[in-house]
A and B are shown apart, each in its own frame.
Chain A
Amino acid sequence: MKIVKIYEDSCVYCHLCEVACIVEHSQSKDIIKAFKRETKPIARCSAEFNYPLSYSVMCRHCDDAPCIEACQTGAMHRDERGYVVVNEDKCVGCWMCIMACPYGVIKKDERREVWGLSTKCDLCPDRETPACVEACPNNALMFEEV
């Protein structure tokens, strides 16, 4: 199965992966509208830094995903491609997936009115190559088999 492979030696901490992720998951998929007009989505990848190290990390799409096991409503599930994704209409923001995720890559979105929303990498279902991989200027993220 292909996932986003992380090559930390090539990362220059430019955050373009996060920008591309935000745009891809925005309503309009337009960079100006996504950042200035619409409710800005949370980036599913995180560029992290501890000099001289930097890397961008996102869901590893585990075979035996503990987040699916911990989900109380079945919102966290495996889609037809085999990737782990959140059904937004089912998620109640109990954060049990955050409690379970061994990679620490699920984020809280608390902006919905009643229910919180767990937010994570969905490997861009509308694209052939994930947005972060395409945006990375230095091949620090590659869409490859693991």
Chain B
Amino acid sequence: MKIVIIGNSVACINAIEAIREKDKISQIIAVSDEQSRAYSHPLLPNLVIGDISRSDERFYYRSRNFYEKNKVKTVLGKKVVGISSQNRYIKLENDEKISYDRLIITAGGKPFIPKMDGVELEGVHTLTNIKSADKLKKDLINIKKCVVVGGGLIGSKIAEKLAKHGVKVTLVELMKRVLFPVLDDTGAEYIHKELKSLGVKLILGDSVVKLDGNKRVKKAVLSSGKSIDTDAVIVSVGVKPNLEFINESGIEINRGIIVNDYMQTNIDTIYAAGDVTEAYDIVTSQKRPIPILPLAARQGRIAGLNIEGENVKYGGGFPTNSITIGKISFISMGIVDTDKLEILKIKKDGEYRKFIIDDNKLVGMILVGNIEKAGMFNWMIQNRFDVSWLKDTFLNSDFGWQYFSKAFRILRFDRKIK
């Protein structure tokens, strides 16, 4: 069998590992428009300011000999421009065709750029891949002041890193708080405080509508009419599935590539995994793109196993996030902000805990400060665990196995219940 994978990041690597567990013979070809071996996307802000370099093994997702060891042919630095699902080949930008028996699309996401005048000016950056990180790093010498547009995971992290690096950063966020989908007001307040203490100026509930400058950006104009002098702008309002090459392939898409529980698209021979897909979200009960690393890994693995005829189901996922800004670490997952469901929360010295419960099933949570044992809640959400007898203990800082019933605890410790 000849398996072609479009993309070369987390979902691709996990698909390769799954395929090779079962099958040492099939030919595997990974095609990517990036030149580098698979690397850690969350470390891009660190790469920009020089915490880490491209010669540091830490930056990479797998070792240099991964492809050789797994007998994978790589076609790097080549962009895929089309797929012929009838004749089973993909087409590269140089018109080269690569045929396949099975195709896995793990093309990831690309930055979403909101409509604004002047985005083509010099000094306007994004930060979703190595190329954009290198460009920003090279430009750093020209940057004393910087406007970050969008306070999501990338925006908040690069704002923190640049501020620590001595850049005067203004972070503009459309919503009333940073990290809007992954924190509530109370949780975000901790992050606001950290960012401010690092010298980041926060402008909330406002957006950049226009960038001014001759050749290079000089000024960002906000919808409120305010304008900010700046040397650079980093646009980080979000990512969207990279669907450019899908156009006439017949693959069903919505916001992302629609996949079933086996990570298979509407075309039998084509699978998709990772940020490019729209898979089932078990807390909101709908298919939607959830561009996070652990799900890309899981989906890639499942796609690989199913190509090998293993019949493994995905079973749905939900957003999970872990970041540290300044001195504050937080982990959040699932639904984090609602007034329609049962909410348990407590805020005490340097710690905030919040749990969202729907009909005695945990559907979301936030831990700020003390993130210990967060994964136990992850398990409860994933398994739709009945928490009616346990939820009263969630707010205890020392939450742990001591609050479970003996029989259940022993079964879990002995790995009798997965």
Q: Which residues from 33 to 74 on chain B have a C-beta closer than 8 Å to any C-beta of chain A?
A: 40-43, 46, 51, 57-63
Known: A48-B400, A98-B322, A104-B375. A62 touches B410 (CB 8 A): no
Give a binary string over A36-72; 1 marks a CB under 8 Å from any B CB, 0 the rest: 0000000000001110010101001010101101101
Contacts of B409 in A (CB 8 A): 8, 55
Q: 5 shortest A-B CB distances, which residue pairs?
A: A104-B373, A101-B375, A50-B402, A102-B379, A70-B294
The answer to whether A102 touches B375, judged by C-beta atoms less than 8 angstroms apart, is yes
Task: Point out the residue from A8, A90, A146 that lies within 8 Å of B58, measured CB to CB.
Answer: A90
The answer to whether A53 touches B42, judged by C-beta atoms less than 8 angstroms apart, is no
The answer to whether B320 touches A73, judged by C-beta atoms less than 8 angstroms apart, is no
In the bound complex, CA of A6 to CA of B404 (Å): 15
In the bound complex, CA of A28 to CA of B61 (Å): 32
> Which residue of chain A has the shortest Cβ distance to B375 in the bound complex?
A101
The answer to whether A96 touches B322, judged by C-beta atoms less than 8 angstroms apart, is yes
The answer to whether A102 touches B378, judged by C-beta atoms less than 8 angstroms apart, is yes
Task: Point out the residue from A5, A64, A73, A93 that lies within 8 Å of B414, measured CB to CB.
Answer: A5
In the bound complex, CA of A53 to CA of B400 (Å): 13
The answer to whether B294 touches A100, judged by C-beta atoms less than 8 angstroms apart, is yes
The answer to whether A6 touches B322, judged by C-beta atoms less than 8 angstroms apart, is no
> Which residue of chain A has the shortest Cβ distance to B414 in the bound complex?
A146
Is there a chain A Cβ closer than 8 Å to B413's Cβ? yes
Q: Which residues from 313 to 330 on chain B have a C-beta closer than 8 Å to any C-beta of chain A?
A: 320-324, 329
Known: A89-B58, A90-B57, A95-B324. A102 touches B376 (CB 8 A): yes
Is there a chain B Cβ closer than 8 Å to A82's Cβ? no
Q: How many residues of B contact A (CB 8 A)?
A: 47
13 CB-based A-B contacts, threshold 8 Å? A5-B413, A5-B414, A6-B413, A48-B402, A55-B402, A62-B415, A66-B294, A73-B43, A92-B40, A98-B372, A99-B374, A101-B373, A102-B378
Known pairs A66-B294, A95-B329, A101-B375; list 11 more (Cβ under 8 Å): A6-B413, A8-B406, A49-B402, A50-B402, A53-B402, A67-B375, A98-B322, A102-B376, A104-B375, A108-B329, A108-B371
Is there a chain A Cβ closer than 8 Å to B293's Cβ? yes
Give a binary string over A79-107; 1 marks a CB under 8 Å from any B CB, 0 the rest: 00000000001101111111111111011
The answer to whether B374 touches A73, judged by C-beta atoms less than 8 angstroms apart, is no
Give a binary string over A134-146; 1 marks a CB under 8 Å from any B CB, 0 the rest: 0000000000001
In the bound complex, CA of A95 to CA of B42 (Å): 12
Is there a chain B Cβ closer than 8 Å to A114's Cβ? yes
Is there a chain A Cβ closer than 8 Å to B391's Cβ? no
Is there a chain A Cβ closer than 8 Å to B119's Cβ? no
> Which residue of chain B has the shortest Cβ distance to A68 in the bound complex?
B297
Contacts of A57 in B (CB 8 A): 400-401, 413
Q: Which residues from 394 to 416 on chain B have a C-beta closer than 8 Å to any C-beta of chain A?
A: 400-403, 406, 409-410, 412-415
Contacts of A5 in B (CB 8 A): 413-414
| A82 CB to nearest B CB, Å | 13
Task: Point out the residue from B58, B294, B403, B410 that lies within 8 Å of A50, measured CB to CB.
Answer: B403
Is there a chain A Cβ closer than 8 Å to B219's Cβ? no
Task: Point out the residue from B297, B324, B400 that lies within 8 Å of A104, measured CB to CB.
Answer: B400
> Which residue of chain B has the shortest Cβ distance to A60 in the bound complex?
B415
In the bound complex, CA of A100 to CA of B406 (Å): 23
Is there a chain A Cβ closer than 8 Å to B168's Cβ? no
The answer to whether A92 touches B378, judged by C-beta atoms less than 8 angstroms apart, is no
The answer to whether A69 touches B376, judged by C-beta atoms less than 8 angstroms apart, is no
Is there a chain B Cβ closer than 8 Å to A125's Cβ? no
| A129 CB to nearest B CB, Å | 19
| B127 CB to nearest A CB, Å | 16
The answer to whether A66 touches B375, judged by C-beta atoms less than 8 angstroms apart, is yes
Is there a chain A Cβ closer than 8 Å to B232's Cβ? no
Task: Point out the residue from A8, A73, A92 that lies within 8 Å of B410, measured CB to CB.
Answer: A8
Task: Point out the residue from A74, A90, A98 that lies within 8 Å of B374, measured CB to CB.
Answer: A98
Contacts of B58 in A (CB 8 A): 73, 89-90, 92, 115
Contacts of B322 in A (CB 8 A): 94-96, 98-99
Is there a chain A Cβ closer than 8 Å to B301's Cβ? yes
| A1 CB to nearest B CB, Å | 10
> Which residue of chain B has the shortest Cβ distance to A114 in the bound complex?
B51
The answer to whether B375 touches A73, judged by C-beta atoms less than 8 angstroms apart, is no
Contacts of A73 in B (CB 8 A): 40, 43, 58-61
| B190 CB to nearest A CB, Å | 16
In the bound complex, CA of A8 to CA of B40 (Å): 40
Is there a chain A Cβ closer than 8 Å to B135's Cβ? no
In the bound complex, CA of A72 to CA of B153 (Å): 15
In the bound complex, CA of A64 to CA of B418 (Å): 9
| B145 CB to nearest A CB, Å | 26
| B106 CB to nearest A CB, Å | 15
| B184 CB to nearest A CB, Å | 18
The answer to whether A103 touches B376, judged by C-beta atoms less than 8 angstroms apart, is yes
The answer to whether B294 touches A96, judged by C-beta atoms less than 8 angstroms apart, is yes
Contacts of B329 in A (CB 8 A): 95, 108
